[in-house]
Structure 1
Amino acid sequence: MNLSLSLRTKLRAGVVLLAFGAGAAASAATPQSAAAPVPDTTEQRVAACTSCHGAHGAGTPDNVLIPRLAGKPAGYLLQQLEYFQTGQRQHAPMEYVVRQLGPAYLRQIAEYFAQQDVPYRKLPVPPVSSETLRRGEQLVLRGDSTRGVPSCVSCHGAKLTGVQPMMPGLMGLSYDYLSAQLVSWRTRTRAAEGPYCMGVVANRMRESDITAVAAWLASQQPPSDLHPAPASAQTEPLPGWCVMGHSGVAP
Protein backbone atom coordinates (compact mmCIF):
# COMPACT_ATOMS: atom_id res chain seq x y z
CA MET A 1 0.00 0.00 0.00
CA ASN A 2 1.20 3.46 -0.82
CA LEU A 3 2.42 4.92 2.49
CA SER A 4 1.40 8.46 1.69
CA LEU A 5 -2.09 7.30 0.65
CA SER A 6 -2.44 5.23 3.82
CA LEU A 7 -1.34 8.18 5.93
CA ARG A 8 -3.77 10.49 4.19
CA THR A 9 -6.58 7.97 4.71
CA LYS A 10 -5.82 7.67 8.41
CA LEU A 11 -5.61 11.42 8.80
CA ARG A 12 -8.98 11.87 7.09
CA ALA A 13 -10.49 9.21 9.33
CA GLY A 14 -9.07 10.97 12.37
CA VAL A 15 -10.57 14.26 11.28
CA VAL A 16 -13.97 12.61 10.77
CA LEU A 17 -13.78 11.01 14.21
CA LEU A 18 -12.79 14.31 15.78
CA ALA A 19 -15.62 16.08 14.01
CA PHE A 20 -18.10 13.44 15.09
CA GLY A 21 -16.85 13.62 18.65
CA ALA A 22 -17.15 17.38 18.65
CA GLY A 23 -20.64 17.14 17.20
CA ALA A 24 -21.65 14.59 19.80
CA ALA A 25 -20.29 16.78 22.57
CA ALA A 26 -22.15 19.77 21.19
CA SER A 27 -25.29 17.68 20.91
CA ALA A 28 -24.92 16.60 24.52
CA ALA A 29 -24.46 20.23 25.59
CA THR A 30 -27.55 21.39 23.67
CA PRO A 31 -30.73 21.43 25.80
CA GLN A 32 -33.18 18.74 24.82
CA SER A 33 -35.92 21.36 24.54
CA ALA A 34 -35.95 25.13 24.06
CA ALA A 35 -36.51 27.35 27.09
CA ALA A 36 -40.14 27.98 27.92
CA PRO A 37 -41.45 31.14 26.23
CA VAL A 38 -42.01 34.22 28.37
CA PRO A 39 -45.77 34.53 29.02
CA ASP A 40 -47.38 37.57 27.41
CA THR A 41 -49.33 38.71 30.45
CA THR A 42 -49.92 42.15 31.90
CA GLU A 43 -47.84 41.20 34.94
CA GLN A 44 -44.93 40.33 32.65
CA ARG A 45 -45.38 43.52 30.65
CA VAL A 46 -45.10 45.68 33.77
CA ALA A 47 -42.12 43.76 35.17
CA ALA A 48 -39.82 46.66 34.30
CA CYS A 49 -42.09 48.93 36.36
CA THR A 50 -42.40 46.69 39.41
CA SER A 51 -38.64 46.14 39.54
CA CYS A 52 -38.41 49.72 40.84
CA HIS A 53 -41.92 50.61 42.05
CA GLY A 54 -42.40 47.35 43.95
CA ALA A 55 -44.80 44.45 43.50
CA HIS A 56 -48.18 45.74 42.31
CA GLY A 57 -46.77 49.29 42.46
CA ALA A 58 -46.80 49.34 46.26
CA GLY A 59 -43.49 51.21 46.45
CA THR A 60 -40.29 50.03 48.10
CA PRO A 61 -38.62 51.08 51.36
CA ASP A 62 -35.22 50.87 49.66
CA ASN A 63 -35.70 54.00 47.53
CA VAL A 64 -37.95 56.67 48.97
CA LEU A 65 -37.67 58.75 45.79
CA ILE A 66 -39.64 56.14 43.82
CA PRO A 67 -43.37 56.63 44.36
CA ARG A 68 -46.21 54.25 45.04
CA LEU A 69 -48.33 53.73 41.90
CA ALA A 70 -51.02 51.41 43.22
CA GLY A 71 -54.53 52.83 43.12
CA LYS A 72 -53.74 56.14 41.46
CA PRO A 73 -56.20 57.28 38.76
CA ALA A 74 -55.52 55.63 35.41
CA GLY A 75 -55.91 58.94 33.60
CA TYR A 76 -53.23 60.53 35.75
CA LEU A 77 -50.82 57.60 35.36
CA LEU A 78 -51.28 57.57 31.59
CA GLN A 79 -50.66 61.30 31.39
CA GLN A 80 -47.41 60.99 33.37
CA LEU A 81 -46.16 58.17 31.13
CA GLU A 82 -46.87 60.38 28.11
CA TYR A 83 -45.07 63.30 29.76
CA PHE A 84 -41.99 61.12 30.28
CA GLN A 85 -42.08 60.36 26.55
CA THR A 86 -42.31 64.02 25.56
CA GLY A 87 -39.81 65.27 28.14
CA GLN A 88 -42.36 67.40 29.97
CA ARG A 89 -41.49 65.32 32.99
CA GLN A 90 -37.80 64.55 33.26
CA HIS A 91 -36.29 61.44 34.82
CA ALA A 92 -33.75 59.57 32.70
CA PRO A 93 -34.66 55.98 33.72
CA MET A 94 -38.37 56.56 33.12
CA GLU A 95 -37.75 58.36 29.83
CA TYR A 96 -35.70 55.36 28.65
CA VAL A 97 -38.26 52.76 29.74
CA VAL A 98 -41.24 54.35 27.96
CA ARG A 99 -39.43 55.72 24.91
CA GLN A 100 -40.53 53.01 22.46
CA LEU A 101 -43.91 52.10 23.98
CA GLY A 102 -47.08 52.74 22.00
CA PRO A 103 -50.29 54.36 23.28
CA ALA A 104 -52.09 51.04 23.86
CA TYR A 105 -49.19 49.68 25.91
CA LEU A 106 -49.03 52.85 28.02
CA ARG A 107 -52.76 52.66 28.69
CA GLN A 108 -52.47 49.02 29.71
CA ILE A 109 -49.74 49.91 32.21
CA ALA A 110 -51.78 52.79 33.65
CA GLU A 111 -54.94 50.72 34.00
CA TYR A 112 -53.07 47.85 35.63
CA PHE A 113 -51.60 49.98 38.42
CA ALA A 114 -54.84 51.92 38.89
CA GLN A 115 -56.59 48.62 39.69
CA GLN A 116 -54.07 47.48 42.30
CA ASP A 117 -55.18 47.49 45.93
CA VAL A 118 -52.25 46.84 48.24
CA PRO A 119 -51.52 47.85 51.85
CA TYR A 120 -49.77 51.11 52.60
CA ARG A 121 -46.19 50.87 53.83
CA LYS A 122 -45.10 53.43 56.42
CA LEU A 123 -42.02 55.37 55.33
CA PRO A 124 -39.56 57.31 57.49
CA VAL A 125 -40.02 61.03 58.09
CA PRO A 126 -37.07 63.24 59.05
CA PRO A 127 -37.32 64.98 62.42
CA VAL A 128 -38.92 68.41 62.13
CA SER A 129 -40.23 70.87 64.69
CA SER A 130 -43.84 70.95 65.84
CA GLU A 131 -44.05 74.45 64.37
CA THR A 132 -43.07 73.06 60.96
CA LEU A 133 -45.76 70.39 61.20
CA ARG A 134 -48.38 72.99 62.17
CA ARG A 135 -47.43 75.06 59.13
CA GLY A 136 -47.68 71.97 56.95
CA GLU A 137 -51.11 71.15 58.32
CA GLN A 138 -52.28 74.70 57.64
CA LEU A 139 -51.13 74.64 54.03
CA VAL A 140 -52.53 71.17 53.34
CA LEU A 141 -55.94 71.69 54.95
CA ARG A 142 -56.54 75.45 54.64
CA GLY A 143 -53.88 76.95 52.38
CA ASP A 144 -52.43 80.44 52.80
CA SER A 145 -54.47 83.23 51.24
CA THR A 146 -51.74 85.79 51.98
CA ARG A 147 -49.46 84.00 49.50
CA GLY A 148 -52.21 82.86 47.14
CA VAL A 149 -51.61 79.20 47.98
CA PRO A 150 -54.77 77.05 47.93
CA SER A 151 -55.14 74.08 50.24
CA CYS A 152 -54.02 70.67 49.00
CA VAL A 153 -57.43 69.18 49.84
CA SER A 154 -59.18 71.61 47.49
CA CYS A 155 -57.74 69.70 44.51
CA HIS A 156 -56.44 66.37 45.81
CA GLY A 157 -59.63 65.47 47.68
CA ALA A 158 -60.84 65.72 51.25
CA LYS A 159 -58.97 62.54 52.20
CA LEU A 160 -55.97 63.44 50.01
CA THR A 161 -56.35 60.14 48.14
CA GLY A 162 -56.88 61.87 44.79
CA VAL A 163 -59.90 62.54 42.60
CA GLN A 164 -60.87 60.81 39.37
CA PRO A 165 -59.84 60.98 36.62
CA MET A 166 -56.64 63.04 36.79
CA MET A 167 -55.84 64.14 40.34
CA PRO A 168 -53.31 61.93 42.18
CA GLY A 169 -53.44 61.08 45.85
CA LEU A 170 -50.80 62.44 48.21
CA MET A 171 -51.17 59.80 50.91
CA GLY A 172 -48.63 56.99 51.07
CA LEU A 173 -45.83 59.03 49.48
CA SER A 174 -42.49 59.64 51.14
CA TYR A 175 -41.20 62.96 52.43
CA ASP A 176 -38.30 62.82 49.96
CA TYR A 177 -40.54 62.19 46.96
CA LEU A 178 -43.07 64.88 47.89
CA SER A 179 -40.45 67.55 48.48
CA ALA A 180 -38.54 66.56 45.32
CA GLN A 181 -41.68 66.90 43.19
CA LEU A 182 -42.51 70.33 44.56
CA VAL A 183 -38.98 71.44 43.70
CA SER A 184 -39.36 69.91 40.23
CA TRP A 185 -42.52 71.95 39.66
CA ARG A 186 -40.65 75.10 40.68
CA THR A 187 -37.74 74.42 38.33
CA ARG A 188 -39.92 73.12 35.46
CA THR A 189 -38.21 69.75 35.32
CA ARG A 190 -41.78 68.63 35.77
CA ALA A 191 -44.42 70.40 33.71
CA ALA A 192 -47.89 70.00 32.26
CA GLU A 193 -49.59 71.10 29.07
CA GLY A 194 -52.17 72.89 31.17
CA PRO A 195 -53.44 73.91 33.52
CA TYR A 196 -50.09 74.56 35.19
CA CYS A 197 -51.53 74.69 38.69
CA MET A 198 -48.72 72.97 40.55
CA GLY A 199 -46.07 75.12 38.92
CA VAL A 200 -47.91 78.18 40.18
CA VAL A 201 -48.49 76.78 43.66
CA ALA A 202 -44.92 75.55 44.13
CA ASN A 203 -43.49 78.92 43.12
CA ARG A 204 -45.69 80.68 45.65
CA MET A 205 -44.39 78.48 48.45
CA ARG A 206 -41.27 79.21 50.45
CA GLU A 207 -38.64 76.49 50.74
CA SER A 208 -39.67 76.09 54.36
CA ASP A 209 -43.27 75.59 53.19
CA ILE A 210 -42.18 72.73 50.93
CA THR A 211 -40.48 71.07 53.89
CA ALA A 212 -43.56 71.61 56.05
CA VAL A 213 -46.06 70.23 53.54
CA ALA A 214 -43.94 67.18 52.68
CA ALA A 215 -43.27 66.40 56.35
CA TRP A 216 -46.91 66.73 57.41
CA LEU A 217 -48.24 64.63 54.53
CA ALA A 218 -45.63 61.91 55.01
CA SER A 219 -46.32 61.72 58.74
CA GLN A 220 -50.05 61.05 58.35
CA GLN A 221 -51.61 57.62 58.62
CA PRO A 222 -53.53 57.14 55.37
CA PRO A 223 -57.20 56.15 55.48
CA SER A 224 -58.06 52.49 55.08
CA ASP A 225 -59.47 53.22 51.62
CA LEU A 226 -56.77 54.74 49.43
CA HIS A 227 -58.89 54.79 46.26
CA PRO A 228 -59.37 58.19 44.60
CA ALA A 229 -62.68 59.97 45.12
CA PRO A 230 -65.13 60.14 42.20
CA ALA A 231 -65.06 63.17 39.93
CA SER A 232 -68.27 64.44 41.53
CA ALA A 233 -66.31 65.03 44.75
CA GLN A 234 -64.40 67.87 43.06
CA THR A 235 -66.74 70.70 44.00
CA GLU A 236 -64.34 73.65 44.06
CA PRO A 237 -63.46 75.27 40.70
CA LEU A 238 -59.81 75.68 39.78
CA PRO A 239 -58.39 79.10 40.69
CA GLY A 240 -58.46 81.69 37.93
CA TRP A 241 -54.67 81.87 37.81
CA CYS A 242 -54.38 78.13 37.23
CA VAL A 243 -53.32 78.41 33.59
CA MET A 244 -50.32 77.25 31.61
CA GLY A 245 -47.51 79.75 31.32
CA HIS A 246 -48.26 81.72 34.49
CA SER A 247 -45.08 82.13 36.50
CA GLY A 248 -46.95 82.01 39.78
CA VAL A 249 -44.17 83.76 41.67
CA ALA A 250 -45.53 85.55 44.71
CA PRO A 251 -44.77 89.27 44.86
Structure 2
Amino acid sequence: MAARVLACASCHGDKGQGTNDDYFPRLAGKPAGYLYNQLIAFRDGRRKYPPMNYLLEFLPDPYLKAMADYFASEQPPFPLPATPTVSSAILARGEMLATKGDPAHEIPACANCHGPSFTGMEPAIPGLLGLRTNYISAQLGAWRYGTRTAAAPDCMQIVAGHLTEDDVKALTAWLSSRPMAANPAPVPHGSLPMPLSCGSEPN
Protein backbone atom coordinates (compact mmCIF):
# COMPACT_ATOMS: atom_id res chain seq x y z
CA MET A 1 0.00 0.00 0.00
CA ALA A 2 2.91 2.39 0.64
CA ALA A 3 3.74 2.23 -3.07
CA ARG A 4 0.11 2.59 -4.09
CA VAL A 5 -0.45 5.80 -2.16
CA LEU A 6 2.55 7.61 -3.64
CA ALA A 7 0.08 9.76 -5.55
CA CYS A 8 -0.95 11.17 -2.16
CA ALA A 9 2.61 11.95 -1.07
CA SER A 10 3.15 15.24 -2.91
CA CYS A 11 0.32 16.87 -0.96
CA HIS A 12 0.06 14.82 2.24
CA GLY A 13 3.55 13.35 2.67
CA ASP A 14 4.65 9.76 2.05
CA LYS A 15 3.36 8.66 5.46
CA GLY A 16 0.51 11.15 5.63
CA GLN A 17 2.51 13.49 7.88
CA GLY A 18 1.54 16.55 5.86
CA THR A 19 3.73 19.00 3.97
CA ASN A 20 4.61 22.67 4.22
CA ASP A 21 1.41 23.67 2.43
CA ASP A 22 -1.08 25.02 4.96
CA TYR A 23 -4.10 23.63 3.16
CA PHE A 24 -3.11 19.96 2.87
CA PRO A 25 -3.75 18.28 6.22
CA ARG A 26 -1.98 15.53 8.08
CA LEU A 27 -3.69 12.16 7.55
CA ALA A 28 -1.49 9.93 9.67
CA GLY A 29 -3.02 8.54 12.83
CA LYS A 30 -6.53 9.79 12.21
CA PRO A 31 -9.32 7.24 12.77
CA ALA A 32 -9.64 4.93 9.77
CA GLY A 33 -13.40 5.40 9.73
CA TYR A 34 -13.01 9.16 9.39
CA LEU A 35 -10.47 8.86 6.57
CA TYR A 36 -12.61 6.29 4.75
CA ASN A 37 -15.70 8.49 4.95
CA GLN A 38 -13.79 11.48 3.57
CA LEU A 39 -12.36 9.43 0.71
CA ILE A 40 -15.86 8.30 -0.22
CA ALA A 41 -17.13 11.87 0.01
CA PHE A 42 -14.40 13.09 -2.36
CA ARG A 43 -14.89 10.16 -4.75
CA ASP A 44 -18.65 10.68 -4.93
CA GLY A 45 -18.36 14.47 -5.24
CA ARG A 46 -20.03 15.33 -1.95
CA ARG A 47 -16.81 16.95 -0.79
CA LYS A 48 -15.37 19.04 -3.59
CA TYR A 49 -11.72 19.53 -4.47
CA PRO A 50 -11.06 18.69 -8.14
CA PRO A 51 -7.65 16.96 -7.76
CA MET A 52 -9.05 14.68 -5.04
CA ASN A 53 -12.32 14.09 -6.92
CA TYR A 54 -10.37 13.10 -10.06
CA LEU A 55 -7.82 10.93 -8.25
CA LEU A 56 -10.46 8.88 -6.45
CA GLU A 57 -13.19 8.82 -9.09
CA PHE A 58 -12.89 5.15 -10.08
CA LEU A 59 -11.53 3.58 -6.90
CA PRO A 60 -13.80 0.96 -5.25
CA ASP A 61 -14.79 0.95 -1.61
CA PRO A 62 -12.35 -1.82 -0.55
CA TYR A 63 -9.44 0.09 -2.05
CA LEU A 64 -10.46 3.27 -0.22
CA LYS A 65 -10.80 1.28 3.00
CA ALA A 66 -7.25 -0.07 2.54
CA MET A 67 -5.95 3.47 1.97
CA ALA A 68 -7.70 4.69 5.10
CA ASP A 69 -6.33 1.81 7.16
CA TYR A 70 -2.81 2.51 5.88
CA PHE A 71 -2.77 6.17 6.85
CA ALA A 72 -4.54 5.52 10.16
CA SER A 73 -1.76 3.09 11.11
CA GLU A 74 1.10 5.50 10.36
CA GLN A 75 2.64 7.50 13.22
CA PRO A 76 5.28 9.88 11.85
CA PRO A 77 6.38 12.74 14.12
CA PHE A 78 4.07 15.69 14.49
CA PRO A 79 5.15 19.16 13.33
CA LEU A 80 6.08 21.77 15.87
CA PRO A 81 3.08 23.79 17.06
CA ALA A 82 2.51 27.19 15.49
CA THR A 83 3.72 30.26 17.33
CA PRO A 84 0.63 32.34 18.15
CA THR A 85 0.43 35.73 16.44
CA VAL A 86 -2.69 36.89 18.29
CA SER A 87 -3.25 38.45 21.69
CA SER A 88 -3.50 36.51 24.92
CA ALA A 89 -7.17 37.49 25.13
CA ILE A 90 -7.89 35.89 21.74
CA LEU A 91 -6.01 32.75 22.76
CA ALA A 92 -8.00 32.60 26.00
CA ARG A 93 -11.25 32.79 24.02
CA GLY A 94 -10.05 29.96 21.80
CA GLU A 95 -9.12 27.83 24.79
CA MET A 96 -12.51 28.44 26.38
CA LEU A 97 -14.39 27.47 23.21
CA ALA A 98 -12.27 24.35 22.73
CA THR A 99 -12.37 23.12 26.31
CA LYS A 100 -15.61 24.49 27.78
CA GLY A 101 -17.67 25.83 24.87
CA ASP A 102 -20.03 28.79 25.11
CA PRO A 103 -23.45 27.55 26.25
CA ALA A 104 -24.99 31.01 25.94
CA HIS A 105 -24.38 30.84 22.19
CA GLU A 106 -25.11 27.10 21.85
CA ILE A 107 -21.49 26.22 21.17
CA PRO A 108 -20.39 22.94 22.77
CA ALA A 109 -16.75 22.36 23.64
CA CYS A 110 -14.65 20.83 20.86
CA ALA A 111 -13.33 18.44 23.52
CA ASN A 112 -16.77 16.88 23.94
CA CYS A 113 -16.49 15.12 20.60
CA HIS A 114 -12.82 15.38 19.63
CA GLY A 115 -11.46 14.23 22.98
CA PRO A 116 -10.03 15.98 26.03
CA SER A 117 -6.60 16.03 24.34
CA PHE A 118 -8.13 16.76 20.90
CA THR A 119 -6.81 13.50 19.45
CA GLY A 120 -10.20 12.41 18.05
CA MET A 121 -12.47 9.50 18.86
CA GLU A 122 -12.88 6.12 17.23
CA PRO A 123 -14.26 5.18 14.84
CA ALA A 124 -14.73 8.38 12.84
CA ILE A 125 -14.11 11.68 14.67
CA PRO A 126 -10.76 13.27 13.73
CA GLY A 127 -8.10 14.77 15.91
CA LEU A 128 -7.59 18.53 15.73
CA LEU A 129 -3.88 18.80 16.52
CA GLY A 130 -1.01 18.92 14.04
CA LEU A 131 -3.11 21.07 11.68
CA ARG A 132 -2.13 24.53 10.53
CA THR A 133 -4.06 27.68 11.33
CA ASN A 134 -5.20 28.34 7.76
CA TYR A 135 -6.44 24.78 7.27
CA ILE A 136 -8.53 24.80 10.45
CA SER A 137 -9.94 28.19 9.53
CA ALA A 138 -10.80 27.04 6.01
CA GLN A 139 -12.62 23.94 7.26
CA LEU A 140 -14.60 25.85 9.88
CA GLY A 141 -15.52 28.32 7.17
CA ALA A 142 -16.63 25.49 4.89
CA TRP A 143 -18.87 24.10 7.64
CA ARG A 144 -20.26 27.56 8.43
CA TYR A 145 -21.18 28.36 4.84
CA GLY A 146 -22.39 24.90 3.85
CA THR A 147 -19.70 24.02 1.34
CA ARG A 148 -18.70 21.09 3.55
CA THR A 149 -21.56 18.99 4.87
CA ALA A 150 -22.20 15.62 6.46
CA ALA A 151 -25.05 13.19 6.97
CA ALA A 152 -27.83 14.34 9.28
CA PRO A 153 -27.54 15.27 12.03
CA ASP A 154 -24.83 17.51 10.59
CA CYS A 155 -23.39 18.45 13.97
CA MET A 156 -20.39 20.37 12.66
CA GLN A 157 -22.46 22.56 10.38
CA ILE A 158 -24.84 23.35 13.23
CA VAL A 159 -22.05 24.15 15.69
CA ALA A 160 -19.94 26.09 13.18
CA GLY A 161 -23.00 28.14 12.26
CA HIS A 162 -22.99 29.54 15.80
CA LEU A 163 -19.37 30.69 15.57
CA THR A 164 -18.48 34.28 14.74
CA GLU A 165 -15.46 35.27 12.66
CA ASP A 166 -13.71 36.20 15.90
CA ASP A 167 -14.53 32.79 17.35
CA VAL A 168 -12.99 31.08 14.33
CA LYS A 169 -9.86 33.22 14.66
CA ALA A 170 -9.56 32.37 18.34
CA LEU A 171 -10.13 28.64 17.88
CA THR A 172 -7.72 28.27 15.00
CA ALA A 173 -4.99 30.19 16.80
CA TRP A 174 -5.33 28.15 19.99
CA LEU A 175 -5.68 24.71 18.38
CA SER A 176 -2.77 25.21 15.97
CA SER A 177 -0.52 26.28 18.86
CA ARG A 178 -1.17 23.19 20.98
CA PRO A 179 1.51 20.47 21.29
CA MET A 180 0.49 16.91 20.63
CA ALA A 181 -0.60 14.90 23.66
CA ALA A 182 1.74 12.25 25.06
CA ASN A 183 -0.67 9.65 23.68
CA PRO A 184 -1.76 10.76 20.19
CA ALA A 185 -4.21 7.89 19.69
CA PRO A 186 -7.93 8.65 19.25
CA VAL A 187 -9.94 7.82 22.36
CA PRO A 188 -12.18 4.72 22.28
CA HIS A 189 -15.73 5.02 21.04
CA GLY A 190 -18.24 5.86 23.76
CA SER A 191 -15.67 7.25 26.18
CA LEU A 192 -16.83 10.86 25.82
CA PRO A 193 -20.00 12.49 27.16
CA MET A 194 -21.25 13.62 23.72
CA PRO A 195 -20.44 10.97 21.10
CA LEU A 196 -21.86 13.01 18.21
CA SER A 197 -21.06 12.54 14.53
CA CYS A 198 -19.50 16.01 14.28
CA GLY A 199 -19.20 15.86 10.52
CA SER A 200 -17.53 12.47 10.58
CA GLU A 201 -19.82 10.94 7.98
CA PRO A 202 -20.40 11.98 4.36
CA ASN A 203 -23.87 13.08 3.35
Q: TM-score, normalised by structure 1?
A: 0.76
In the alignment, which of 1, 16, 23 is matched to residue 57 of structure 1? Answer: 16
Cα distance in structure 2, aligned partners of 1:124 and 1:154: 23
Indicate the residue corresponding to 1:184 in structure 2.
Answer: 142
Moved beyond 3 Å, runs of 4+: 123-126
Q: Report if the CA contact (8 A) 1:88-1:189 is conserved.
A: no
CA contact (8 A) 2:119 2:126 kept: yes
Q: For 1:142, which of 100, 111, 115 is the aligned residue?
A: 100
- What do the CA deviations read for 1:45-70 (whole angstroms, capped 9, x no partner)? 11111221012000112x01100000
Task: Give the 3-state SS of the residue equivalent to 1:111 in structure 2.
Answer: helix
* More displaced stretch, 113-122 vs 88-97: 88-97
Question: What RMSD, in angstroms, separates the aligned Cα atoms of the two structures?
Answer: 1.8
SS at match of 1:232: coil
Residue 203 of structure 1 deviates from its aligned partner by 0.8
For the 8 Å contact 1:144–1:151, the answer to whether it is kept is yes
Equivalent of residue 171 in structure 1, options 126, 129, 143: 129
Q: What does the per-residue CA deviation read over 1:139-186, in whole Å, with 9 as the maximum and x for residues that have no partner?
A: 000000111000000000111000000110001111111000000111
Residue identity (%): 44
Please name the residue that 1:156 is paired with: 114
SS of the residue 1:183 aligns to:
helix
1:10-29 aligned within 5 A: none
Partners of 1:202 and 1:114 in 2: CA distance: 26
Q: Is the 8 A contact 2:18 2:27 kept in 1?
A: yes
The equivalent position to 2:63 in structure 1, one of 105, 110, 113, is 105
Unaligned residue ranges in structure 2 (runs of 5+): none
Deviation at 1:123, TM superposition (A): 5.1
Q: Structure 1 residues 106, 119: CA separation in 2 closer, same or farther (over 3 Å shift)?
A: same
- 1:209 equivalenced with 2:171 (yes/no): no
Alignment partners' CA distance in 1, 2:188 and 2:50: 33
Q: Equivalents in 2 of 1:123, 1:221: separation in Å?
A: 6
Partners of 1:125 and 1:175 within 8 A in 2: no
Aligned pair in 2 of structure 1 residues 238, 78: CA closer, same or farther (>3 Å)?
A: closer
Higher helix share: 1
Greater Cα radius of gyration, structure 1 or 2: 1
The letter for the 1-side match of 2:30 is: K
* Corresponding position of 1:48: 7
Which runs of 5 or more structure 1 residues have no equivalent in the other structure? 1-41, 245-251
2:103 maps to a residue whose letter is: S
Quote the residue 2:186 is aligned against. Answer: 228
Deviation readout 1:110-162 (Å, 9 max, x if unpaired): 00000001110125455111111010000000000111000000000111000
TM-score by length of 2: 0.93
Partner of 2:42: 84
Which AA in structure 1 matches 2:34?
Answer: Y
Q: Secondary structure at the match of 2:190?
A: helix
Considering Cα pairs closer than 8 Å and 6+ residues apart, tell me whether 1 or 2 has the greater RCO: 2
